[in-house]
A and B are shown apart, each in its own frame.
Chain A
């Protein structure tokens, strides 16, 4: 059993070896830690977690370390599943205000639904490394709506320090149907709803059109468990009239209409949420996720009855817009209490980053102690940034938990992970230990002292 001292030494080693290729998945056990399973249950003290072959094999109190497996002493530490960050821009941008580095918006693009983030995600972007150091191990990445109400197709990624970030390309389509969508649709929500219906009907017809003019190529594109790319997107196909929807966008929406691809709908206002849910009456196979839902608590029972999951910000409490007049920090808790599957996600200011999710979740625990407010229990709060968003993103029961068979994504923290004073000490993805250093940690070391009497700081690296 290694000492706690060497646990820290391990972290230091990881800092020093950022450029090294990650080792293969290692079998590892962590003992004596406070363990949060991520499934909504309360944390368990003095528990053990075992990972073999990149998967969790056991976690809890009374779990013994398999013979011959090296164990890390987690005394005083917390162990949790990795955080799951929903709706991020990880790998799409280096600096938001530097347009050349920013692939989040495509305001001048002729395409909307056809846009696909998977080929452009850059796992070497600093935000990746910062988020990883903050305990984020998996995420969804999505563009923002730029030229049409359809933002395009988001991907499911892991944050491992390698080039194989994209685990499921085209995991979902994202459409804006609130105030933002109304502006993009020409100025009103009526237009965005008309555009939406037209697009889905065009896609529906396009999907059923077996007699395409032109040559279609059917070579296999790179796949994991993702959707097959419609061959008409990779080959040439002609239509007589493309009036309101390009064939690329129409083809991209076919799996949305058929329910093969999730449709994330951005709406905030209670009435907009209901209109979004009602779309299932017209397009019964839509597999909807509501994003935003600042006023979700007002119609929580109806969201729950529709079985539609929600990704919401944790701490919105201002009438930032007329579609968020009823925003309250009790939103997530009230939806949760009504039976809605709610993940905490979204990042509202420059200070919000994926690695700030524990602060949002922790605040909702604090809120539960305010008379009249509705927050979350600790277990619910942690689940809302681990297993719930993982489940919404399509990871089934294998993501965001430490239950047997789950992905070997785990984080060792130096304290309660929801507390602002805590930080990850070690991060594993698929059982592979990850480097935690980055541009920021190198700057910190360079400027630890300001002494330049021998050489300028530029020689300190």
Chain B
């Protein structure tokens, strides 16, 4: 997939250079480099293409902190180097800091990759949560693979800044809601303030299709006296739609059909599947359905019963995006247990901690810590450095952006959080957050904190939130 190449290594950056010069976005008098801009040819082909370019940063050395690389590694008294938007080096105290780097003393502090939320509705269910803002569910047909979440996203949602400042969130996947069996395409964004959604779009991130099983689709449509009104109805509508999609995908695809283009993209392997699904028995059926039609489920979201089929999920290579301890709010969440994440991890399957919530996204690190502790109490001891991956690299993997971000590896995007303490402690906050090497949040600098247009001039604007 060509889009994935953007932002990795030197060659794509050079290839994109002329385009960036032409665009010549500037900030603070410094030209915004184009390292992460998609290649020109690709931009022309992709509608609503990303116009995101990284903001200026200075070569930076974080020195003396405990470093979690996001991929399971831990370095005490470590050094992280980044410049020109990319991680340049990571190592112990003996790693040489090149001349010209700004040194930041991380003694007593911690460094992790930027936090990534695989399941957010920021922007398409923004605050204030008034009806006029309810843009997350095209709940007028059980299958709407033709809708794209990015066409609903309000970039001025104040929730983005809170996720940055309190949660250290640098990237997130915004999904349509779960009213529909097939809710539409997701959009993955960099968590930077922007006048347009294109200005946030994560360059090169693949699309996902949001699917939902269980109670929501059958309730929404059953209450209107139309199919599906049962779980078997859910499957029937899904299967009929996949049959149609296979015919379209195998045809010449010349007649544009927006719904079928999305589904064909799934069957081609270019579009991932993020499947809202709570119950173990239903997840097993969905994996069989995927096999029947030749696609893959990338991640089950809200998978509160994954612990019952952790072996099956491991064998199928499907991630579980879960909360730490949500339970009981609906029938299919009644068997949720706080040890879910630990049991999934212990079985060798992929765990992602997700939020689905404008508050929860501000504390993914704490949710992971809770899940870790509940595992420890039942005898499953998961080291901190592996737990960090639950909200960094594993999330990136489930979003198809793990070659670009999610861990502190040379050549990857410099999405970095400096925490003022152990990120798995309730007492810890992000102190500084960099996105592509640009300092986007600094709790010691009140100006280095975005305020959305909506909040400007309102009570509390600019206040610490």
Given contacts A298-B459, A319-B455, A319-B458, contact A422 B373 (CB under 8 A): yes
Residue of A at shortest CB range from B372? A421
**CB atoms of B373 and A423 under 8 A apart:** yes
Asked whether any CB of chain B lies closer than 8 Å to the CB of A62, the reply is no
Asked whether any CB of chain A lies closer than 8 Å to the CB of B444, the reply is yes
Contacting chain B: which of A91-99, A154-162, A191-199? A91-99
Interface 1/0s, chain B 330-346, versus A by CB < 8 A?
11011111110001000
Asked whether any CB of chain B lies closer than 8 Å to the CB of A434, the reply is no
Q: Tell me which of A315, A326, A359 contacts B460 (CB under 8 A).
A: A326
Residue of B at shortest CB range from A419? B426
Given contacts A96-B330, A97-B329, A318-B127, contact A351 B323 (CB under 8 A): yes
Distance of A359 Cα from B362 Cα, bound (Å): 13
Asked whether any CB of chain B lies closer than 8 Å to the CB of A363, the reply is yes
**CB atoms of A328 and B378 under 8 A apart:** no
Interface 1/0s, chain A 382-415, versus B by CB < 8 A?
0000000000000000000000000000000010
Minimum distance in angstroms from A354 CB to a CB of chain B = 12
Residue of B at shortest CB range from A369? B420
**CB atoms of B458 and A351 under 8 A apart:** no
Given contacts A319-B454, A325-B459, contact A420 B329 (CB under 8 A): no
Interface 1/0s, chain B 358-375, versus A by CB < 8 A?
111011001101101110
Which of chain B's residues have a CB closer than 8 A to the CB of A447?
Answer: 307-308, 343
**CB atoms of A373 and B464 under 8 A apart:** yes
Given contacts A96-B329, A322-B128, contact A450 B455 (CB under 8 A): no
Asked whether any CB of chain B lies closer than 8 Å to the CB of A362, the reply is yes
Distance of A324 Cα from B333 Cα, bound (Å): 30
Interface size class of B (residues with CB under 8 A): 35 or more
Distance of A414 Cα from B377 Cα, bound (Å): 10
Asked whether any CB of chain B lies closer than 8 Å to the CB of A217, the reply is no
**CB atoms of B328 and A369 under 8 A apart:** no
Which of chain A's residues have a CB closer than 8 A to the CB of B444?
Answer: 371
**CB atoms of A420 and B420 under 8 A apart:** no
Distance of A373 Cα from B429 Cα, bound (Å): 12
Given contacts A367-B429, A450-B310, contact A420 B370 (CB under 8 A): yes
Distance of A14 Cα from B311 Cα, bound (Å): 31
Minimum distance in angstroms from A102 CB to a CB of chain B = 10
Minimum distance in angstroms from B435 CB to a CB of chain A = 20
Which of chain A's residues have a CB closer than 8 A to the CB of B308?
Answer: 447, 450, 457
Asked whether any CB of chain A lies closer than 8 Å to the CB of B196, the reply is no
**CB atoms of A321 and B360 under 8 A apart:** no
Distance of A324 Cα from B378 Cα, bound (Å): 41
**CB atoms of A319 and B429 under 8 A apart:** no
Q: Tell me which of B329, B333, B464 contacts A330 (CB under 8 A).
A: B464
**CB atoms of B158 and A349 under 8 A apart:** no
Minimum distance in angstroms from A411 CB to a CB of chain B = 15
Asked whether any CB of chain B lies closer than 8 Å to the CB of A241, the reply is no
Interface 1/0s, chain B 301-343, versus A by CB < 8 A?
0000001111100000000000111111111011111110001
Which of chain B's residues have a CB closer than 8 A to the CB of A318?
Answer: 127, 158-159, 162, 358-359, 465
Distance of A447 Cα from B308 Cα, bound (Å): 6
Task: Report how many residues on chain A are interfacial, defined by Cβ distance under 8 Å.
Answer: 58
**CB atoms of A362 and B427 under 8 A apart:** yes
Which of chain B's residues have a CB closer than 8 A to the CB of A330?
Answer: 463-465
Which of chain A's residues have a CB closer than 8 A to the CB of B458?
Answer: 319, 325-326
Which of chain A's residues have a CB closer than 8 A to the CB of B463?
Answer: 326, 328, 330
Which of chain B's residues have a CB closer than 8 A to the CB of A96?
Answer: 328-330
**CB atoms of B337 and A349 under 8 A apart:** no
- A253-285 residues with Cβ-Cβ distance < 8 A to B are 270
Given contacts A359-B426, A420-B369, A447-B307, contact A351 B465 (CB under 8 A): no
Q: Tell me which of A321, A326, A349, A448 contacts B128 (CB under 8 A).
A: A321
Distance of A422 Cα from B310 Cα, bound (Å): 26
Which of chain B's residues have a CB closer than 8 A to the CB of A328?
Answer: 460, 463-465
Given contacts A328-B463, A370-B464, contact A127 B328 (CB under 8 A): yes
Asked whether any CB of chain A lies closer than 8 Å to the CB of B42, the reply is no
Residue of B at shortest CB range from A423? B377
Distance of A327 Cα from B159 Cα, bound (Å): 12
Distance of A95 Cα from B357 Cα, bound (Å): 19
Asked whether any CB of chain B lies closer than 8 Å to the CB of A365, the reply is yes
Residue of A at shortest CB range from B307? A447
Which of chain A's residues have a CB closer than 8 A to the CB of B420?
Answer: 369
Given contacts A350-B329, A444-B378, contact A319 B337 (CB under 8 A): no
Asked whether any CB of chain B lies closer than 8 Å to the CB of A117, the reply is no
**CB atoms of A419 and B331 under 8 A apart:** no
Which of chain B's residues have a CB closer than 8 A to the CB of A444?
Answer: 337, 339, 343, 378
Asked whether any CB of chain A lies closer than 8 Å to the CB of B282, the reply is no
Distance of A443 Cα from B129 Cα, bound (Å): 36
- B22-42 residues with Cβ-Cβ distance < 8 A to A are none
Chain B CB within 10 Å, residue with most, of A298, A350, A356, A367: A350
Asked whether any CB of chain A lies closer than 8 Å to the CB of B424, the reply is yes
Residue of A at shortest CB range from B157? A318
Asked whether any CB of chain B lies closer than 8 Å to the CB of A110, the reply is no
Which of chain A's residues have a CB closer than 8 A to the CB of B235?
Answer: none
Asked whether any CB of chain B lies closer than 8 Å to the CB of A130, the reply is yes
Enumerate the 8 nearest inter-chain pairs by beta-carbon distance, A residue then B residue, closest first.
A326-B460, A362-B426, A326-B459, A421-B373, A97-B330, A366-B427, A317-B465, A373-B464
Besides A96-B329, A350-B329, A363-B363, 17 other A-B contacts (C-beta < 8 A): A95-B330, A95-B331, A95-B334, A126-B328, A130-B327, A298-B459, A322-B130, A329-B465, A348-B359, A351-B360, A365-B426, A369-B427, A371-B443, A419-B427, A420-B369, A420-B426, A448-B378
B residues neighboring A (CB under 8 Å): 127-130, 158-159, 162, 166, 215, 307-311, 323-331, 333-339, 343, 347, 357-360, 362-363, 366-367, 369-370, 372-374, 376-378, 420, 424-429, 443-444, 446, 454-455, 458-460, 463-465
A residues neighboring B (CB under 8 Å): 94-98, 126-127, 130, 270, 295, 298, 315, 317-322, 324-330, 348-351, 353, 356, 359, 362-363, 365-367, 369-374, 414, 418-423, 439-440, 443-444, 447-448, 450, 457
CB pairs A–B below 8 angstroms (17 shown): A95-B334, A298-B459, A317-B465, A322-B130, A349-B359, A350-B326, A351-B326, A353-B327, A362-B427, A363-B363, A365-B427, A418-B426, A421-B424, A423-B377, A440-B337, A450-B347, A457-B308
